[in-house]
Structure 1
Amino acid sequence: MTEATRRTPGTPCWVSLMVHGLEPTREFYNALFDWDFVPGPQQLGPYVRALLDGREVAGIGQLPPDRNLPIAWTTYLATDDADETAETIRCCGGTVAVGPLDAGEAGRLVICSDPSGAVFGVWEAEAHHGTATAGPPGTPVWNELLTYETSSVGKFYRSVFGYEVEPVVSADLDYATLHLGGRPVASLHGVGNELPRDRGAHWMTYFEVADTDRAALLVAELGGQVLRPPREGTAGRLALVADPEGAVFTLVRSTGR
């Protein structure tokens, strides 16, 4: 069951992945995060919801054979009105690629991109309120936008979702935290020319693990890639990895766990 409470608009509420091989991808994430799966909604093609201890944590869908889209985890941000948010995104210099459209009784969605080209989703909840648990190993615990620079794109997200954008004052770090109601919900990280040329600006999902080093080894054993080996960071012990179809995500054993 999903949470019965509606998220504050702008809160990251769901992560979803579209792949070519649904069954091999299910096997990979089942072995890595111990996810189980239930089907639906099927309005957009074959789609499953990942469960951890019976609670929904993520979604995986299958691309049509003729769609050659980048394989990437997509962060969804909550809204009370998908149509109004889509219009605001257009007015603020973003692009709406898909929707707004209904996903059965689950809710209404939009797939869009910010002015820097980073793709994200917008979710207006009905029956499905999004990720039902965050914190235990196997759950998404943070979302960060990797972009060229944070100042202009921060204004976009503030205009669309009403975030308070709090920059880190640093001569060598371009970083800002997005707050709602005084609570940090996501972050922006400007990396300049270090932005991957093959991916451009993109949202990154952090998944909690019990042991970053062991999880990174398991990713490689399961046919994925370790793109940046485990290291200590401000959030905890991190590793940048990719699944067998190339979807990039971060493993983290959060500080204090």
Structure 2
Amino acid sequence: MAARPEGTPVWTDAMFTDAEVAKTFYGDVLGWTFGEASTEFGNYTQAYKNGKAVAAVVPPMPGQDTSPQSAWCLYFSSPDVGATAEKIRSAGGTVLMEPMQVGDFGSMCIAQDPTGVTFGIWQPGAHEGFELEGEAGSYVWAEVFTRAPAKADAFFTAVFGYHSKKVKDEHMDYRVFDLGGEMPVLGRMVMTAEDFPPEFPPYIQVYFAVDNCDKAVEAAERLGGRKLFGPMDSPFGRFAAILDPQGATFAVIDTRTTVGDMPEMV
């Protein structure tokens, strides 16, 4: 597989206090199966769809808070994780976990933008990232949710060299980032006071593709998840945001069921 350009979403994982509950939940909602836990790397366990790696779950590290807030972490590709960490600092971000090598799989760090959005950097080695994208049960899209859009826009543009365009809509501040081509790689939404209580932290919402958005929501609710909004029709697909039983937020989208015209970008 050709190396993904720097700034391309390349992987996602989440830490769960009860990894077995997470496996049951996502196995039913997204159709995932799971590999063997890697004891050498903290029981890190990869999820698969149709035999291809799509994500991973991991329990807390020994000695860590036994009740961490579960959250999906999106990793962006980098040819040099150390150099990207320096760009993060120079742009006003914070490196939460210094660059480290993960066996022969690759190297990583965890960082936060100036508005409080946490994300990862992955320099691929043997593990190149997603083996399946854009199909049911796999990653398809992500959006930065922030209360300070100008700061977030400047940060991600500086670190990854993104170009950006804004949706031409006076009622909504939504921006998409690309790497100089027609294909966008990331979106940015504004967290409004009406929709997000002040204690809800900024985050990156990861979207997983599904064959049927409504059925995915029903499965999530049956297993203790909670619908945050949707299902909702859009020109991009029918989608919904879900809070899983351990507090991790994610979204599901049926990209084949579209309603309306694509918005104009400026």
| TM-score (normalised: structure 2) | 0.90
Deviation sequence 1:162-216 (CA, Å, 0-9, x none): 0001122332211111001312111111233234433321100011111111110
The separation in 1 between residues aligned to 2:205 and 2:17, in whole angstroms, is 20
The separation in 1 between residues aligned to 2:198 and 2:90, in whole angstroms, is 27
Counterpart of 1:191, as a letter, is M
C-alpha deviation, 1:99, in angstroms: 2.2
Whether 1:254 aligns to 2:255 is yes
Determine if contact 1:37/1:51 at 8 Å carries over to the other structure. Answer: yes
Structure 2: gaps of 5 or more residues: 259-266
What percentage of residue pairs aligned between the two structures are identical? 32
Whether 1:59 aligns to 2:52 is no
Give the equivalent residue in structure 2 for 1:7.
4
Counterpart of 1:144, as a letter, is E
Deviation sequence 1:39-60 (CA, Å, 0-9, x none): 3555541111111111110011
Between structures 1 and 2, the one with greater strand share:
1
Determine if contact 1:141/1:206 at 8 Å carries over to the other structure. Answer: yes
The separation in 1 between residues aligned to 2:24 and 2:70, in whole angstroms, is 17
| TM-score (normalised: structure 1) | 0.93
Secondary structure of 2:48's match? strand
Secondary structure of 1:66's match? coil
Q: How many residues align?
A: 254
Deviation sequence 1:66-111 (CA, Å, 0-9, x none): 3243211111111000011111111111111112111111100111
Structure 1: gaps of 5 or more residues: none
- Identify if the C-alpha distance between structure 1 residues 58 and 36 changes in structure 2 by more than 3 Å, giving closer, same or farther: same
Give the equivalent residue in structure 1 for 2:86.
87
Deviation sequence 1:228-257 (CA, Å, 0-9, x none): 231212321111112111111111111458
Superposition RMSD in Å: 1.6
The separation in 2 between residues aligned to 1:227 and 1:93, in whole angstroms, is 31
Higher deviation after alignment, 22-31 or 137-146: 22-31
Determine if contact 1:149/1:192 at 8 Å carries over to the other structure. Answer: no
Determine if contact 1:5/1:129 at 8 Å carries over to the other structure. Answer: no
Give the equivalent residue in structure 2 for 1:35.
32
The separation in 1 between residues aligned to 2:170 and 2:29, in whole angstroms, is 38
Whether 1:20 aligns to 2:29 is no
Higher deviation after alignment, 28-37 or 126-135: 28-37
Determine if contact 2:238/2:257 at 8 Å carries over to the other structure. Answer: no
Whether 1:154 aligns to 2:153 is yes
